[in-house]
Structure 1
């Protein structure tokens, strides 16, 4: 089964959320910033449950609101 990680809201620590998104997706700074600023948006798609839960934990630790679908 594959899961999508959806960034619903960035929260107060936008720079930290961008750093986490970069680490999770291997995007460049500009691309990660655009992705974060376009929330709600999928950050990762068709990943394992473990990868999705790991991403959710890391993003929520920085104050972001995240859904795993």
Structure 2
């Protein structure tokens, strides 16, 4: 299955680039498990979000 971006409004290009970069980084993180990742949110928030998707986590 392929994802195709057909069009991007000119005022949304930077936001779209940021989303694509985040998706690429997330995919690389998941494919390389187990792996440490950079803390960008509080420990509590990361723990909550990861537990919601039933990810096996170890936050230290």
Range of TM-score over shorter length: 0.5 to 0.7
- Larger helix share, 1 or 2: 2
TM, length-normalised to structure 2: 0.53
RMSD: 2.2
Indicate which of 37, 41, 44 corresponds to 2:38: 44
Structure ID, larger Rg: 2
Give the TM-score normalised by structure 1.
0.47
**Greater strand share, 1 or 2?**
1
Give runs of ≥4 in structure 1 deviating > 2 Å. Answer: none
Unaligned runs of 5+ in 1: 1-25
Gaps of 5+ in 2: 1-18
Q: How does 1:13-32 map to 2 (within 5 A)?
A: 28-32=22-26
